[in-house]
Amino acid sequence: MGDANDIEPGTCPRANGMPMLGLGTWQNTDPEQCAESVRTALEMGYRHVDTAQAYGNEDAVGEGIARADVDREEVFLATKISTANLARDDVLETARDSLDRLGVDTIDLLYVHWPKGEYDPEDTLPAFDELYADGLIENVGVSNFEPADLEVALDILDAPIFANQVEMHPLLQQADVREACENYDVEVVAYSPLARGQVFEVDELKDAAEKHGVTEAQVSLAWLIEKGVTPIPKATGEDHIADNWESLALELSSEDVAAIDAIERTDRKIDPADASWN
């Protein structure tokens, strides 16, 4: 096993400037715990933090960034507009609310959280263009978009789509989404990259973990990064934050990657009835 402190922040690979390992904050709703997990991660070397209006923790994430002995300019900060706030005027108003809660002047990546609820491409997306043109956001993102959703959004937006954030892990490999994103030069960001802990029960990951003397979580994260995907694992305690960070030191063999690639399962952990794929 490596030491998280041995991995310098600059060694994290980047995708168009976005650090390819982030800290997820979903369900991290205790304000003090959330702020401390963000501070801990940033001071360990993380430079990518992901939150959302729906998580109810933007204040705490902002507090963690402020506490950390890391310049704001070094942090790639992402948040998402909730489905209830996707009408044009609500996008413009609540994006500014998110800026205030986070305590920042700009958001590095602002996502449409889901293409549902109040989402109307012709109404919603021009508001993102406006925020982008005004310099309040550095990049426009979408989340939980299937290829057809992505194509519609690309036709409407003036700003480029920087990333599509989707559930992805070895049990949900998202080949069609990855192909579409590659064709359109859109980065893929993976939430639930550890399949809510199920990666610890997968033989192919257990074999690779034993071979390299690492955890199954590190194997899953290293596999995603090898695929050109940016994982944002949720973690609150310092031990899990460090374990995920240590995945950057893991180099999987071609045999390891091939064995994981051959897993043929479609095991979604987040699967609402009104999602585009249903």
Give catalytic residues, as residue numbers: 55
What secondary structure does DSSP assign to 181-214, as a single string? HHHTT-EEEEESTTGGGGGGG-HHHHHHHHHHTS
Cα Rg, the chain, nearest whole Å: 18
Tokens of 53: 């209006």
CA distance 35 to 52: 15
Terminal CA-to-CA distance of the chain, rounded, Å? 41
Q: How many CB atoms lie within 10 A of CB 196?
A: 13
CA distance 188 to 167: 10
- φ, ψ (nearest 5 deg) of residue 140: -100, 135
CA distance 22 to 233: 7
The two counts, helices (H) then strands (E), for the chain are: 10, 10
